Structure 1
Amino acid sequence: MYFGGEIPHFLPPLALQGSSFALLVWQELLKIRYGSTTTYATMATKIAQQRGLAKMSAQAIGGALKNNPISIIIPCHRVIGTNGSLIGYAGGIEKKKILLGLENLTTT
């Protein structure tokens, strides 16, 4: 389905294990719609607000994404740099580019 370019309309049951911070970040990732992206900075702002913090570093988000155990289902490939660049994907930037291409997204 996904690799055929179709939008998945279901989420398999997940039994994720990780720190409370990582679980929060991964839950936020699940809200990024197919064919959309967000930035590490935007994710940091959202998570900081949810945790009642004034701010949070984008690098903290990257750390949680790095430990994502199911990176296509929890779509960390949809998180990009503030300037639209492809950065920080555990599977490699080329794979991130391919996954975004499947979703008809192009980035720098």
Structure 2
Amino acid sequence: MFYRTTYVSPIGKIKLLADRTSLLFAYFEGQAYFEEKSAWFTSRLEENAVLKGAISWLDSYFKGHNPAMDDLNLSAQGTDFQTRVWKELLTIPYGETRTYGQLASLCDCPSAQAVGAAIGKNPLLIFVPCHRVLSSTRKLTGYSGGLEKKAWLLDHELERE
């Protein structure tokens, strides 16, 4: 059984999908790679404990806090390489950034582009902070939720430090 809800954030609606134990997807409405997820269409429009925890986390985040991930069970499904990259994203501290090249080195991958492709398929935006990754010149590039949202999220974190 899958459960879904929509969270209204200051930068747009975020679709959340969970099963009984884990948060599976967090996507901005209309974002690439989301609408193809068939579980969304076979889910119940109902908030379970997992979704309530995710909403509480998002409320805290958007109020300017750095909420702990302790009570969230994230379950990002992807290839072994993608999940390795996504786990590395979780190590980037709130208010800090890394480059695609730095992440490639940490993942023992010779290609920053491959890392970028894996990041682009991150199914748990904001929770798995791919918005904290910049180009080698420290410019904003590639964010499946949109560059304006990436800029907002980074500004939000930096002004709250």
User: What's the TM-score once normalised by structure 1's chain length?
Assistant: 0.87
Query: 2: distance between equivalents of 1:41 and 1:78?
Result: 13
Query: 1: distance between equivalents of 2:114 and 2:131?
Result: 16
Q: CA deviation at 1:71?
A: 1.2
Q: Judge which range, 7-16 or 73-82, deviates more.
A: 7-16
Structure 2, unpaired ranges of 5+: 1-59
Do the aligned residues in 1 keep the contact of 2:85 with 2:118 (CA within 8 Å)?
yes
Q: CA deviation at 1:10?
A: 2.5
What code does the residue aligned with 1:87 have? Answer: T
> Could you tell me which residue of structure 2 aligns to residue 9 of structure 1?
68
Query: 2: distance between equivalents of 1:41 and 1:96?
Result: 18
Query: Whose strand fraction is larger, Structure 1's or Structure 2's?
Result: 2
User: What's the TM-score once normalised by structure 2's chain length?
Assistant: 0.59
Aligned residues: 99
Calculate the aligned-residue CA RMSD, in Å.
1.2
Give the counterpart of 1:29 among 89, 94, 99.
89
Q: CA deviation at 1:99?
A: 0.4
Superposed structure 1 runs of 4+ greater than 3 Å apart: none
Structure 1, unpaired ranges of 5+: 49-54
Give the counterpart of 1:73 among 127, 146, 158.
127
Do the aligned residues in 1 keep the contact of 2:76 with 2:124 (CA within 8 Å)?
no
> Could you tell me which residue of structure 2 aligns to residue 51 of structure 1?
none
SS where residue 27 of structure 1 aligns? helix
Query: 1: distance between equivalents of 2:157 and 2:74?
Result: 22
2:60 is equivalent to residue 60 of structure 1: no
Q: CA deviation at 1:39?
A: 0.2
Query: Whose helix fraction is larger, Structure 1's or Structure 2's?
Result: 1
Percent of pairs with identical residues? 45
What code does the residue aligned with 1:77 have? Answer: H
Query: 1: distance between equivalents of 2:140 and 2:112?
Result: 14
Query: 2: distance between equivalents of 1:25 and 1:10?
Result: 18
Query: 1: distance between equivalents of 2:151 and 2:134?
Result: 11
Q: Which has the larger radius of gyration?
A: 2
